[in-house]
Amino acid sequence: MAAVAAATHVGKGKRQFLSLWAKAFSIPCRHRQKKNWATTRPRLSATRLALQNFDMNYSVQFGSLWPSIRISLLSEQKYGALFNNFSDIQQISQELECLNAVDFIWESQKVVQDLNSTAGQEASESAVSTRAVPPESQPQPLPCLSTLISSNIKCYTFPKGDISLFPPARPDALGILGYYLLDAASVLPVLALNVQPGDLVLDLCAAPGGKTLALLQTGCCRELAANDVSVSRTGRLNRVLSSYIPKNLCEIVRITSWDGRKWGDLEANTYDRVLVDVPCTTDRHSLMEEDNNIFQNMRKGERQMLPMLQLELLVAGILAAKPGGEVVYSTCSLSQLQNEYVAERAVELLNIQYNIDVRVEDLNIFRRLFQDTFSFFPSCRLGELVLPHLTSNFGPLYFCKLRRLG
Ligand SMILES: C[S@@+](CC[C@H](N)C(=O)[O-])C[C@H]1O[C@@H](n2cnc3c(N)ncnc32)[C@H](O)[C@@H]1O
């Protein structure tokens, strides 16, 4: 009995010692499990991964501008109200003006007048001056606004620094909504397309339809082909159009759900104007929303293939344009790889593979016209880029205009 008791005592002592040792030096069980988690590293959320990716790339691309762009991207964005010319115009303009919002496109007319009167003054001063100024270095007057940008589009915004919000639009007596809320910068590619009366227009990636709606506001499209590969998104496009456009006008719109990359084979040399508003990393969305975020782990392949898809869509859009036709390429990303590089590669590829010359048009005038509303990146090699800024938190929005020559 004594031997058994002693053995039990030793066993108890050993157990106590082991337990003390474990407490002092070993990792408690619950932490040991954590070590196991650590071997399968917790996954970063898509928004976090997007921020890491942008910090790495955009701090190099934008240098000292990046902190300001970054904080703006992470702050609440500003909206514009695209005015619907097919609704009760008087009631809607009164409503928007009561809010102290202004039509930024109308305001740019004043910029043209100011620039022209300065140019006129400088020209007359140089005429009386004893020093002769060669005509090419004299400031040239700007042509009328309607020859530079698509006409009849109105978009209301609050002034710089004003972060008021627009109330949701209400239907008029005929059930048509008075304005469409969107990032005001996304009207710029449509303005740059400079649609002329009677034009045949293609909107290659059209859903959910903000830019299609802006194209229709011009009243210039003889026919508008609005396409988007996604059937569910063309459903949304249909709903947007039926809320804003009277039935008889919907007849000029042809909605399809084809792969835009095939357009060069389907309808080559056909359109006067083509808008190629491609899928991209949608930088603002990617930082704010987990849902449908292209930085989700399972969408890595899709993300890496974006510049290739964008290039194929732009090439197809240019092939669909008539010789002499104009094409605007746009994204809502800051990425040079998705912006300038795609435009450059498309020009090269069309020349080498199709023997088609394409000219990149100068859009510098946009910076002068709309600098009171947007903050533009000053050093874009091709096209223009609207940078998010706390005082005018629109964008990012890149747009580049290409003219098919042959
Ligand atoms: C940036 S969104 C277009 C936004 C639209 N332009 C607007 O203003 O409301 C890009 C669109 O491209 C579409 N898309 C993606 N791949 C496509 C393809 N191969 N052909 C046509 N559309 C495509 C997507 O479904 C998405 O709706």
Ordered DSSP codes for 236-252: HHHHHHHHHS-HHHHTT
The one catalytic residue in 205, 221, 332, 400 is 332
In a domain, 186, yes or no: yes
Contact 322 CB / ligand 1 (< 6 Å): no
Structure token pair of residue 154: 């109105």
Shortest-distance atom of ligand 1 to CA 211? 8
Domains held by the chain: number:
1
What is the residue with the minimal CA distance to atom 23 of ligand 1? 229
Q: 385 alpha carbon to ligand 1 midpoint, in Å?
A: 19
With respect to residue 20, please indicate whether it lies within any of the assigned structural domains. Answer: no
Whether residue 105 is contained in a domain is answered as yes
| Ligand 1 atom showing the smallest separation from residue 237 Cα | 9
Distance CA 386, CA 375 (A): 6
CA–CA distance, 402 with 406 (Å, rounded to integer)? 12
- Please report whether residue 137 resides in a domain: no
277 lines ligand 1 (CB under 6 A): yes
* pLDDT the model gives residue 116: 75
Mutation to probe ligand 1, out of 180, 193, 205 (largest number of atoms < 8 A from CB):
205
In the numeric block, which tokens belong to residue 147? 């020859």
* CA 228 to centroid of ligand 1, rounded, Å: 5
What whole-number distance in Å separates Cα of residue 261 and Cα of residue 246?
31
52 lies in a domain?
no
Q: Is 279 in the pocket of ligand 1 (CB under 6 A)?
A: yes
Residue among 147, 77, 140, 146 at smallest CA distance from 106: 146
Whole-number Å distance, alpha carbon 207 to ligand 1 midpoint, is 6
Q: How far is the CA of 397 from the centre of ligand 1 (A)?
A: 15
> 200 lies in a domain?
yes
Q: What is the CATH number of the domain that holds 322?
A: 3.40.50.150
| Residue-number span of the structural domain to which 250 is assigned | 58-125+143-404
Tell me how far apart the alpha carbons of residues 382 and 369 are, in angstroms, rounded to a whole number.
18
Partners of 103 in beta bridges: 156
Q: Give burial (CB, 10 Å; 0-12/13-18/19+) of 199.
A: buried
Could you tell me the distance, in angstroms and rounded to a whole number, from the CA of residue 129 to the centre of ligand 1? 56
Rounded distance from Cα 279 to ligand 1 centre (Å): 5
DSSP class of 130: S
Q: Please tell me if the CB atom of residue 225 comes closer than 6 angstroms to any atom of ligand 1.
A: no
What is the secondary structure of 53-114 as a DSSP string? HHHHHHHHHHGGGHHHHHHHHTSPPP-EEEE-TTS-HHHHHHHHHHTT-EEHHHHHHHHHHH
Alpha-carbon distance of 245 to 217, in angstroms, equals 9
The answer to whether residue 32 is domain-embedded is no
260 pocket-lining for ligand 1 (C-beta < 6 Å): yes
Q: Could you confirm whether 332 is annotated as catalytic?
A: yes
Measured from the CB, is residue 233 less than 6 Å from ligand 1? yes
The CB of 284 under 6 Å from ligand 1? The reply is: no
Say if strands 358-360 and 384-386 run parallel, antiparallel, or are unpaired.
unpaired
Please classify residue 345 by burial: count the beta carbons closer than 10 Å to its beta carbon, then call 0-12 exposed, 13-18 middle and 19+ buried.
middle
The number of the ligand 1 atom at minimal distance from the alpha carbon of 208 is: 9
Domain presence at residue 18: no
Ligand 1 in reach of 230 Cβ (< 6 A):
yes
Token couple for 232: 């569910």
Q: Is 257 in the pocket of ligand 1 (CB under 6 A)?
A: no
Mean pLDDT by 10 residues, the chain (406 residues): 40 42 38 53 88 98 98 97 96 94 93 74 63 60 80 96 94 94 98 97 98 98 98 97 93 97 96 98 98 96 97 98 98 98 98 98 94 96 97 98 95
Task: Say how far apart CA 226 and CA 234 lie, in whole Å.
Answer: 9
CA-wise closest residue to 125 among 138, 143, 142, 137: 138
φ, ψ at 196 (rounded to 5°): -110, 155
235 CA → ligand 1 middle, Å: 13
127: left (phi > 0), else alpha (psi -120 to 50), else beta? alpha
Q: Using most ligand atoms within 8 A of CB, pick from 228, 232, 241 the residue to mutate for ligand 1.
A: 228
